[in-house]
Amino acid sequence: MNRRLLAALALLVLLGTAGCTTILGDDAGDPEALSADAEYDYDTDRDAFIRVNRGNYTAVYNVSAKVTGDNGTIELYRTNALTIENPLELEALQFRYANGTVVRYVDGEAVLLRSDGTQEPTDALAVETTRQRTVVELPAEEGQIAFTTPKSGKEIAVYTPVHGSYEVALPPDRDASVPLLSRTRPSNDDRAVVGDRVRLRWDNVETSVLSVRWYLDRDLWLFGGLAVVGAILGAAGIVYYYRSIRMAEKRRDEAGLDVDTGDDDREGPPPGMR
């Protein structure tokens, strides 16, 4: 094989396994994206609270329930169409201590937000992107990590970094209660409507992935309308078929094709055989 081709392949493998995301993955720890503004549902009593929006979803995780990462870190990832792990893209990354103090990114640097409004630079919250995962260095083993990540379509698949109770708030005017139009894996334990959002709840998630597919409320009306039209057409078809059979029977009767002479009902052998 050509030596230049071998060298190019070796460089490709080296870049892919060097620990930093290059041409084999996205830069999920972009400083500008990490510094974006966002508001999170820190007051949730769930180990994980996910709010789905049109182009992204926000997540708040209780890090004391984490199941990914080593001591002091949590690992976040997604998979592509080939089920290959890729780093999860993070925006507006924050961490809230148990006492309510928040660490977030400002202008690409992690800062501690004091209660008096002042900021103090800190290296307690850091992000490293590998070829397969986004590794977040946590300021503490107790608290909550929060971030925003892009999504598309009418479905999310969350590779669960924590186990325990989950809650997913669907976008406004969406639902996931009709099996033919939606799916939840694992099946949710409860469903509630809060404001203009449907919230799905799980008491204890221990699977590696939680997926939810939903539909627009108007899709349900469209589906119902199509079902009614289908039922009407089906009933009309049955009536037409029945009437066609009756008309065919009537034409046979009129043509004398169904005249019964009664010969088959006579007792004894045929004539000439007695």
pLDDT one-digit tens code per residue, 92-145? 999 999 999 999 999 999 999 988 888 999 999 999 999 999 999 999 999 999
CA distance 103 to 35: 11
CA distance 118 to 120: 7
The pLDDT of 198-217, averaged and rounded, is 96
In degrees, rounded to 5, the angle at the alpha carbon of residue 55 between the alpha carbons of residues 52 and 61 is 40
Please check the confidence at residue 27 and state whether its pLDDT lies above 50: yes
- DSSP percent split of the chain into helix, strand, coil, nearest 5: 25, 35, 40
CA distance 274 to 272: 6
Q: What is the pLDDT confidence band of residue 212, given thresholds at 50, 70 and 90?
A: very high
Q: Where are the domains of the chain?
A: 19-213, 220-256
Q: What is the pTM for the complete model shown?
A: 0.74
pLDDT number for residue 47: 98
Please check the confidence at residue 22 and state whether its pLDDT lies above 50: no
Chain-centroid distance, C-alpha 97: 29
C-beta of residue 48 within 8 angstroms of C-beta of residue 59 = yes
pLDDT number for residue 263: 53
Structure token digits, residue 103: 């660490």
Please check the confidence at residue 32 and state whether its pLDDT lies above 70: yes
- Report the range of poorest mean pLDDT among 6-20, 195-209, 215-229: 6-20
* Most confident among 22-31, 131-140, 232-241 (mean pLDDT): 131-140
Structure token digits, residue 17: 């396994």
Please check the confidence at residue 21 and state whether its pLDDT lies above 90: no
CATH for 19-213 is: 2.60.40
C-beta of residue 215 within 8 angstroms of C-beta of residue 177 = no
* Most confident among 1-15, 114-128, 200-214, 221-235 (mean pLDDT): 200-214
